């Protein structure tokens, strides 16, 4: 009999502070300290920055989008070229989503049935079909460290739609788990159920009974209130196992991250820092700065006093405004560096505060402005 191999994944809980958790998520491409913010690399690139920029920023794990990469350049092509890590020259951990959210938000003329979902490409209108088995096969071709189950993200306030969508999501989770063949990829289930606590509880119980390497929480930050989101997280904290990472999909702002770590979340991703950067806005602890505002035209100050990022240590708001007004690529790059730096730094500060037993104190003093 061969010796038992150490599983390539484990989640080590290092410390807690209230419900906030500091952990170490072990993956084949490295250890991810949590809480973690994962920059979004939709098309196999975090927009406007390079892998060496990401490393310098202290990013440990990034996300890529199954829907986009399946359509272009194609998951089979990426597999032929050595997989996603090799293709994009990012040798740290990667998570791919299931494509479900994109199909239900981006693709025109989608039609869902019990077996899967048929949709048209937003690129060329061509028809495609995702089933649980197909989505696992695509993600196995891409080769990320963490893959997730196909799910259906329903409108948050429609109970009947959420009930029906949840039945499909659960059936698809079973089929995804059965379809998975690679031992070097972790599979996360996705808890759904909108704002409805009974559906969320049903979902958490169903998925934890099936058993996954981690649990994603989908269908939040899609229009519901903060109170509704927090109520769902308060419930799930009591239902999800402590020894598995919890990933809140598509969230969020600096304020969200702080509030949700306090509710037991370990992993985050969001396009906010990269997208707002390309719109000419900087995230700071004191609130958002829109560089199109004329008051920055002669401002010699950095985006954020005391920030140690390359942008803040070299360039003025006046220069960044000039780049923004002139639509220069360097403006997108420099704002992206700063915005990612803030999110990654906040996640790291939270981790240290949890480890040092002063998370609540940190949370109160983090001097984050109210969201505008």
Instruction: With beta carbons less than 8 A apart as the criterion, state whether 203 and 193 touch.
Output: yes
Q: According to the binding rule CB under 8 A, does residue 182 interact with its own copies?
A: no
CB of 56 to its own copies, least distance (A): 10
Is residue 82 close enough to count as binding its own copies by CB under 8 A?
A: yes
Q: Is 334 in the site for its own copies (CB under 8 A)?
A: yes
DSSP characters over 159-214: HHHHHHHHHHHHHHHHHHHHH---TTSEEEEEE--TT-HHHHHHHHHHHHHH--SE
Number of residues lying near its own copies (CB under 8 A): 38
Neighbours of 307 (CB within 10 A): 18
Q: Which of 2, 3, 108, 300 binds its own copies (CB under 8 A)?
A: 300
Chain-centroid distance, C-alpha 310: 24
Q: Pull the structure tokens for residue 108.
A: 């025109």
Closer residue to its own copies in complex, CB, 52/129? 52
Closer to its own copies by CB, 333 or 363: give it.
333
Site for its own copies in 136-175 (CB under 8 A): none
Site for its own copies in 12-41 (CB under 8 A): none
301 in contact with its own copies (CB under 8 A): no
Tell me the C-alpha to C-alpha distance, in Å, between residue 146 and each of 165, 176, 215, 257: 23, 13, 11, 21
Token couple for 287: 């609130």
Catalytic option among 75, 97, 213, 266: 97
Backbone angles phi, psi at 313, to 5 degrees: -85, -5
269 labelled catalytic: yes
Site for its own copies contains 48 (CB under 8 A)? yes
DSSP type of residue 127 = E
Q: How far apart are CA 188 and CA 194, in angstroms?
A: 18
Q: What angle do CA 230, 192, 97 make, to 5 degrees?
A: 105
Nearest approach, Cβ of residue 197 and its own copies (Å): 40
SS3 24: strand
Q: Residue 97 catalytic? A: yes
Question: Which candidate in 145, 151, 266, 269 is catalytic?
Answer: 269
Of 25, 87, 119, 362, the one binding its own copies (CB under 8 A) is 87
Rule CB under 8 A: say whether 44 interacts with its own copies.
Answer: yes
Q: What whole-number distance in Å separates Cα of residue 13 and Cα of residue 297?
A: 48
177 or 322: whose CB is closer to its own copies? 322
Please select the residue that binds its own copies; options are 7, 14, 30, 80, rule is CB under 8 A. Answer: 80
Total count of residues recorded for the chain: 372
Copy the structure tokens of residue 205: 């119980």
47 binds its own copies (CB under 8 A): yes
Q: Binding residue for its own copies (CB under 8 A) from 37, 215, 247, 319?
A: 319
Is residue 45 a contact residue for its own copies (CB under 8 A)?
A: yes
With CB under 8 A as the contact rule, the residue among 113, 198, 298, 361 that binds its own copies is 298
Q: Which residues are catalytic?
A: 97, 269
The residue ranges that bind its own copies (CB under 8 A) are: 43-45, 47-52, 72-73, 77, 80-82, 87-89, 297-298, 300, 310, 314-316, 318-319, 321-323, 325-326, 328-330, 332-334
């Amino acid at each position: 009999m061969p010796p038992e191999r150490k599983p390539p994944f484990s989640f080590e809980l290092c410390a807690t502070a209230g419900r906030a958790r500091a952990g170490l998520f072990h993956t084949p491409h490295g250890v991810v300290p949590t809480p973690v913010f994962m920059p979004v690399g939709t098309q196999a690139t975090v927009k406007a920055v390079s892998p060496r920029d990401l490393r310098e920023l202290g990013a440990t794990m990034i996300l890529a989008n199954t829907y986009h990469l399946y359509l272009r350049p194609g998951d089979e092509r990426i597999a032929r070229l050595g997989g996603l890590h090799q293709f994009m020259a990012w040798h740290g951990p990667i998570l791919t989503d299931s494509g479900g959210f994109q199909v239900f938000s981006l693709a025109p003329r989608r039609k869902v049935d019990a077996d899967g979902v048929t949709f048209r490409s937003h690129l060329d209108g061509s028809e495609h079909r995702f089933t649980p088995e197909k989505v696992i096969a695509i993600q196995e071709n891409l080769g990320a460290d963490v893959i997730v189950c196909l799910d259906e993200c329903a409108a948050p306030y429609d109970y009947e739609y959420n009930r029906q969508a949840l039945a499909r999501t659960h059936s698809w989770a079973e089929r995804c788990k059965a379809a998975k063949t690679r031992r070097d990829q972790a599979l996360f289930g996705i808890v759904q159920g909108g704002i409805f606590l009974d559906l969320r509880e049903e979902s958490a119980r169903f998925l934890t009974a099936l058993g996954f390497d981690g649990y994603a929480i989908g269908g939040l930050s899609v229009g519901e209130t903060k109170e509704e989101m927090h109520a769902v997280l308060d419930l799930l904290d009591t239902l999800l196992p402590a020894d598995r990472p919890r990933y809140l999909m598509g969230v969020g702002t600096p304020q969200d991250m702080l509030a949700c770590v306090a509710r037991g979340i370990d992993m985050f991703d969001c396009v906010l820092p990269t997208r707002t950067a390309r719109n000419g806005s900087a995230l700071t602890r004191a609130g958002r700065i829109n560089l199109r505002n004329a008051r920055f035209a002669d401002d010699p100050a950095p985006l954020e006093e005391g920030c140690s990022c390359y942008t803040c240590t070299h360039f003025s708001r006046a220069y960044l405004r000039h780049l923004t007004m002139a639509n220069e690529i360097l403006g997108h790059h420099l704002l992206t560096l700063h915005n990612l730096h803030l999110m990654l730094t906040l996640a790291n500060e939270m981790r240290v505060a949890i480890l040092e037993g002063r998370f609540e104190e940190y949370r109160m003093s983090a001097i984050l402005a109210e969201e505008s």
